Structure 1
Amino acid sequence: MVTSLCSLHSPLAVSNAHSPTSNDLKTDLLHKFNSPFELKQAHAHLIKKNTPLSTLPLTRVGSVSALTPSFTYARQIFAHVNEPELVVWNYCLKSFVERDNSVNAILLFYRLRQFDVLPDTFTCSFVLKACTNELDLYNGKIIHGYVVKLGFTFNLVLQNMIVNLYAECGEIWDARLLFEKMSQRDVVTWNIMITQLIKRGDIVEASELFRKMPERSVRSWTGMISGYVQCGKPKEAVELFMEMEQVGVRPNEVTVVAVLAACADLGALDLGRRVHEYSNQSGFRRNIRVCNTLIDMYVKCGCLEGARRVFIEMEERTVFTWSAMIQGLAIHGQAKEALTSFNKMIEIGIKPNGVTFIGLLHACGHMGWVDEGRRFFYSMTTEYGIIPQIEHYGCMVDLLSRAGFLQEAYEFIRNMPIKPNGVVWGALLGGCRVHKNIDLAEEASRQLGQLDPLNNGYHVVLSNIYAEAERWEDVARVRKLMRNLGVKKTPGWSSITVDGVVHEFVAGDETHLQAEKIFQMWEKLLDGMKLKGYIPNTSVVLLDIEEKEKEKFLYRHSEKLALTFGLMNTPPGTPIRIMKNLRVCEDCHAAFKLISEIVNREIVVRDRNRFHCFQAGSCSCGDYW
């Protein structure tokens, strides 16, 4: 039945003079065969030496024969050894899944059924995992049927995998139905369902399930905190983190990353610092992802020095680390340092990616460095082989538009190899407002009307451009269009965190408990500012009202209220950090420069585009923003 080794053209037939030893080659053949042909050689050798078949590594026999015509040959070998056949096939299924070869795992399962090899719970678990990897609900339902038919519904692991399979394949409500019908559930079951709901943006349903959980693991808390961050609810994420601390659950590295991201969104520097201290005490200092998120948190909370310290202390830095630091320096007005960091990154052999160039283009855009920006944009492709994405084109249009190269920006958009989006046209529109180019503003607005008609920001900018030109009929026309479309202007707000509590203000806000004291304090500041030559810039109030009314409206801007509150409720000499959802107006910018000198405080404002660090009467933006 088996051919003699001597008659086969194999490595064993080669003279010993050309190989280490004959025994070495025989050992290799017996344990390292890679094909059905070599398996048959090894089998022949065992027969010749009258050696038991159990000497063969059976898992290797299965692996080289699973999907070949030698499948039955392998089964004949298994029939002559004591090892249960299914154990070997389960190992093969597991190997396929772990090596990202899930399709072969599914094919092997069907071959096993074709030859009446009865699956067990392990078999089903490996094939369910394969179906999930492939998002193959058709075959997944068949395996689900086998689980029921073979009486494996008692197995909670399999039940959890089935719920996860349906959800991953988009059948979230089928998954929920299975979840509700389960006779038993563990914390993994609940976590699966909550995670899948969060993936689909159903944070309300996920939160309700979370509250119903009989017990929660650190993964449960972390998943919910991450979910809130992903859904744009950082405040809820922070509140849940504090609740997690109160019940005594220790955060892990993933939790730390999630809550730091929430701190970054909120500008909650005090909590971010506390989480930083906790991560150091817990040994997370070497976790690159934690460190990268710390850099991002410090940058977005207006504490560039904190970001620098984390960066310097890192033992290992990736391209993401360098890119985060470059981006942080850029939005803080430290363009020279951003470009210096890029040069250092290149010198040590780290290849930049697309995010790196977004940071560099932002740096150039915030300083008006048009030539440098052009050079970086074109070097992406010519030197680093990076194809510019829509974000890079948006940065270039923003750079050119801010600097007054409006016609070049317009031609740049028209010649883009990809379709411009609302952000690109919005950048041009913003430049048109700064440089008062009504014709191009109207063209940009027309394009935006087609791409994003319900975006209130673009309508407001065009209305403001008309207002600055005192074209009140056009202002009324745009406002009427907004009413007809059901579009409302986004109200400006500013927030400041004092003693861990976030205080939010809107323009003209009189609802705060300290409102009267805030207005009194502002009047005192105003007296000092006027002594230094302050004249209210009422041109930023784009309303057709009397001058005195414009001044009153100007003095109630949300960032002025937040700053005044901060001066009243923080110790002298401490920095004040304010977050604003819109662009800082020219009058507030001028006022903050004077106030920083009068009160001898550092005032950091994060607006929609960048950071402004006011100190000793000047701003880090160099009055270019």
Structure 2
Amino acid sequence: MVEKLYTQLLDKIPDIKTLKKLHSKILLDPKLCSNIALGVKLMRAYSARGHSIITRHVFDKIPERNVSIFNVMIRSYANNKLYSDAICMFRTMCENDVKPDQYSFPCVLKACSGLGNLRVGLQVHGLIIRMGLDMNLFVGNGLVAMYGKCGRLVEARCVLDEIPRKDVVSWNSMVAGYSHNGMFDDALEICRNMEFNGMKPNDGTMASLLPSVSNTTIENVEFVIDMFRNMEGKDLVSWNVMISVYVKNSMSNDAVKLYLEMETCGIRPDVITIASILPACGDLSAVLVGKRIHYYVERNGLLPNLSVENALIDMYAKSGCLDEARKVFDVMHSRDVISWTSMISAYGASGQGHNAVELFHKMQRSGLVPDSIAFVSVLSACSHAGLLKEGKFCYKMMTEKYEIVPRPEHFACMVDLLGRAGQIDEAYSFIKKMPVAPNERVWGALLSACRVYNNMDIGLVAADNLCQLAPKQSGYYVLISNIFAKAGRWKDVTTIRLLMKDRGVKKIPGISNVELNNQVHTFLAGDRLHPQSDKIYEELEVLVGKMKDAGYVPETDGALHDVEEEDKETHLAVHSEKLAIVFAIINTEPGTPIRITKNLRVCGDCHIAAKLISKITGRAIIVRDTNRFHHFQNGICTCGDYW
């Protein structure tokens, strides 16, 4: 009766305090102390509580050990990530002529997986084959996982194919193998095979995908969406995977919508969720959602956390909220190079080059060594602010002091830096001396400078190279056309338009996003799909009238449009950023800053318009285009009309 009572109590796996009391009473009773069944129960109870050392003490007191007792000890080590101890125990079992069984091998294979120990894994596989257990489901699953973790994916797939009756774990193990090795598309292909073979993906499948989520095809994104939506009782990891898929594939609006849906479903985000969704908020300048997430992070004690703090800095920086980004930066307990680089980049993109350079030197004084990305940030900051002397100094420091080999990004920054200063000839000479072939970003920086300073000769050289390197990039054709238009060479403008048509190059439609009440509103040029379209166009017409009274003349020569000349003025008036700005004016209180994100460079006409609107309405307007931030206030832009 006493033995039965203790057995029942141990089966419930009591808390550690109660467990130790039971253990003490068992040790005081010689009869109970020699009971092997109770010894095994104690081992399992301690192991479940993560106490592998005490589990080992109990194991050592058992005089006669069979395969089941060894299995409990190996499992205890493996489940508590003491993988080397698990392998040693397996060896001890074999040395003591205790024959392993189908329950021994999954545990020791888990230990091999945890260590990435292929050598032992191969030895264990050989023993499995000799014992005829290679067709066993649990053993096979362990082999798939082991080979996957060790990067032997061909072998893992062979084992999977040979398992006669696969279960969900079999497929998930193969998914995890591809994912662990960064092969997201291959992992998704296994998910497809899994569904084809009648197995429904589950939360474990999604968890296996998480480490490798990356940019993929639209078909694969749609497959993951369907897989996610068809799952029942989704856990947090599944939501994290889906958010990450959206973010990695530039579907930021969908990511934010899904995050809000997750909140509605009562799923509490963790640090992985937060670090994933904040970049999407930054991409959309969805600062209201971002601030709400920041509040959640602070309220729930998720700080300090380096990845979350870096994501917060990035989100605020991309939203043009430099003060908020700096507040996060200043209160961090520890900072890595990413933290400093994000803040430097934030200052640079907003035209605050002196602050960026000062912070860069402060980072060096803190003892951190800047990497190549940090130098891209500081050089870009110098470029945006026109700090020629400082930029040259930083470039020299990078190449001579830190001996960092310049990459195309560094070369592009230097060309842009020289070009902004009007030193077109020096910029062109710099390109000709480059040790590697210049890429499209380098030539693009030179072409932009030629447009601003009307350098036709070098501009045509840059244009010729760009047409060869990026024959489908419509933005470069626009720049080339603008150079010809400024020079009054209208035949050449027509030639560029015809060349675009012949090559099948289409101008990417401009898209502008603006956030209101935690929802991101998206506008296209000439958009009339928005519910408030009538009101927006009425207000825009009034605003254009006020702008013209203030001296506004539409810049019809500065942009390339596939419309007739007489329609250009009308077309310019309904560009996406103008619609987004007017929408924000209508729906927010006077004086509220307006934040817009644009998928293309701001055109010259919209830049002029935004300056005038900021003065007429008394609003600060922050526009982030693909090149930089434009902070419009009282008729002035921080970019100095160079972008």
Normalised TM-score (structure 2): 0.77
Distance in structure 2 (CA, Å) of the matches to 1:233 and 1:520: 31
1:320 aligns with 2:335: no
Tell me the secondary structure at the aligned position of residue 591 of structure 2: coil
Distance in structure 1 (CA, Å) of the matches to 2:187 and 2:308: 34
**C-alpha displacement at 1:575, in angstroms?**
0.9
Percent identity of the aligned residues?
40
Contact 2:594–2:619 (CA<8 Å) still a contact in 1? yes
1:251 aligns with 2:294: no
Distance in structure 2 (CA, Å) of the matches to 1:73 and 1:551: 82
Tell me the secondary structure at the aligned position of residue 244 of structure 1: helix
Contact 2:614–2:635 (CA<8 Å) still a contact in 1? yes
**C-alpha displacement at 1:586, in angstroms?**
3.9
Contact 2:353–2:387 (CA<8 Å) still a contact in 1? no
Partner of 2:127: 112
2:115 corresponds, among 93, 99, 116, to: 99
**C-alpha displacement at 1:126, in angstroms?**
4.6
The residue type paired with residue 271 of structure 1 is: V
Partner of 1:558: 576
**C-alpha displacement at 1:321, in angstroms?**
0.5
2:311 corresponds, among 286, 293, 298, to: 293
Distance in structure 1 (CA, Å) of the matches to 2:629 and 2:187: 44
User: What are the ranges of 5 or more consecutive residues in structure 2 without an aligned counterpart?
Assistant: 1-62, 78-82
1:133 corresponds, among 139, 149, 164, to: 149
What does 1:66-465 align with in structure 2 at a 5 Å threshold?
77-79=95-97, 93-101=109-117, 103-113=118-128, 116=131, 124-144=140-160, 147-148=163-164, 153=165, 156-165=168-177, 170=186, 173=189, 175-182=191-198, 186-189=202-205, 191-192=207-208, 200-201=216-217, 202-465=220-483
Contact 1:268–1:497 (CA<8 Å) still a contact in 2? yes
Contact 2:174–2:187 (CA<8 Å) still a contact in 1? no
The residue type paired with residue 249 of structure 1 is: I
Question: Residues 410 and 111 of structure 1: is their aligned pair in 2 closer, same or farther, counting only changes over 3 Å?
Answer: same
1:576 aligns with 2:582: no
2:486 corresponds, among 464, 468, 480, to: 468
Tell me the secondary structure at the aligned position of residue 96 of structure 2: helix
Distance in structure 1 (CA, Å) of the matches to 2:335 and 2:187: 41
Tell which deviates more after alignment, 318-327 or 578-587.
578-587
**C-alpha displacement at 1:230, in angstroms?**
1.0
Tell me the secondary structure at the aligned position of residue 540 of structure 1: coil
Contact 2:523–2:576 (CA<8 Å) still a contact in 1? yes
Distance in structure 1 (CA, Å) of the matches to 2:614 and 2:608: 10
The residue type paired with residue 109 of structure 1 is: V
Distance in structure 2 (CA, Å) of the matches to 1:203 and 1:137: 23
1:620 aligns with 2:635: no
Tell which deviates more after alignment, 383-392 or 333-342.
383-392
Tell me the secondary structure at the aligned position of residue 363 of structure 2: helix
What does 1:58-69 align with in structure 2 at a 5 Å threshold?
none
**C-alpha displacement at 1:115, in angstroms?**
5.8
Tell which deviates more after alignment, 311-320 or 163-172.
163-172
Deviations 1:244-293 (A, max 9, x none): 12221111111112221211111111111111111222222211111111
Contact 1:400–1:406 (CA<8 Å) still a contact in 2? yes
Deviations 1:46-77 (A, max 9, x none): xxxxxx999xx9999x979x99xxxx997873
Tell which deviates more after alignment, 380-389 or 110-119.
110-119
**C-alpha displacement at 1:298, in angstroms?**
0.9
Q: Count residues in correspondence.
A: 561
Tell me the secondary structure at the aligned position of residue 503 of structure 1: strand
Contact 1:456–1:487 (CA<8 Å) still a contact in 2? yes
Distance in structure 2 (CA, Å) of the matches to 1:136 and 1:76: 26
Question: Residues 617 and 549 of structure 1: is their aligned pair in 2 closer, same or farther, counting only changes over 3 Å?
Answer: same
Flag the structure with larger Rg.
Answer: 1
Question: Residues 405 and 99 of structure 1: is their aligned pair in 2 closer, same or farther, counting only changes over 3 Å?
Answer: farther
**C-alpha displacement at 1:540, in angstroms?**
2.9
Question: Residues 552 and 176 of structure 1: is their aligned pair in 2 closer, same or farther, counting only changes over 3 Å?
Answer: closer
Contact 1:163–1:178 (CA<8 Å) still a contact in 2? no
**C-alpha displacement at 1:475, in angstroms?**
1.6
Question: Residues 471 and 435 of structure 1: is their aligned pair in 2 closer, same or farther, counting only changes over 3 Å?
Answer: same
Contact 1:260–1:293 (CA<8 Å) still a contact in 2? yes
Tell me the secondary structure at the aligned position of residue 339 of structure 2: helix
Deviations 1:302-333 (A, max 9, x none): 21121112112222211110100000111011
Distance in structure 2 (CA, Å) of the matches to 1:118 and 1:551: 78
Question: Residues 602 and 142 of structure 1: is their aligned pair in 2 closer, same or farther, counting only changes over 3 Å?
Answer: closer
**C-alpha displacement at 1:536, in angstroms?**
5.1
Distance in structure 2 (CA, Å) of the matches to 1:550 and 1:443: 29
Question: Residues 506 and 113 of structure 1: is their aligned pair in 2 closer, same or farther, counting only changes over 3 Å?
Answer: closer
The residue type paired with residue 108 of structure 1 is: Q
Question: Residues 430 and 185 of structure 1: is their aligned pair in 2 closer, same or farther, counting only changes over 3 Å?
Answer: closer
**C-alpha displacement at 1:95, in angstroms?**
4.5
**C-alpha displacement at 1:548, in angstroms?**
8.3
Tell me the secondary structure at the aligned position of residue 391 of structure 1: helix
Question: Residues 588 and 483 of structure 1: is their aligned pair in 2 closer, same or farther, counting only changes over 3 Å?
Answer: closer
**C-alpha displacement at 1:490, in angstroms?**
1.7
Distance in structure 1 (CA, Å) of the matches to 2:387 and 2:265: 52
Distance in structure 1 (CA, Å) of the matches to 2:538 and 2:604: 23
**C-alpha displacement at 1:92, in angstroms?**
6.1
Contact 1:225–1:259 (CA<8 Å) still a contact in 2? yes
The residue type paired with residue 162 of structure 1 is: M
Partner of 2:29: none
Tell which deviates more after alignment, 138-147 or 248-257.
138-147
Tell which deviates more after alignment, 427-436 or 358-367.
427-436
Q: What's the C-alpha RMSD, in Å, of the aligned pairs?
A: 3.7
Partner of 2:607: 589
Distance in structure 2 (CA, Å) of the matches to 1:600 and 1:180: 60
Normalised TM-score (structure 1): 0.79
Distance in structure 2 (CA, Å) of the matches to 1:528 and 1:315: 50
Tell which deviates more after alignment, 493-502 or 175-184.
175-184
Partner of 1:485: 503
Distance in structure 2 (CA, Å) of the matches to 1:504 and 1:185: 34
Contact 1:194–1:209 (CA<8 Å) still a contact in 2? no
1:505 corresponds, among 517, 520, 523, to: 523
Tell which deviates more after alignment, 593-602 or 223-232.
593-602
Question: Residues 429 and 117 of structure 1: is their aligned pair in 2 closer, same or farther, counting only changes over 3 Å?
Answer: same
Tell me the secondary structure at the aligned position of residue 379 of structure 1: helix
**C-alpha displacement at 1:176, in angstroms?**
2.3
Contact 2:443–2:462 (CA<8 Å) still a contact in 1? yes
Contact 1:267–1:300 (CA<8 Å) still a contact in 2? yes
Distance in structure 1 (CA, Å) of the matches to 2:529 and 2:130: 77
Partner of 1:35: none
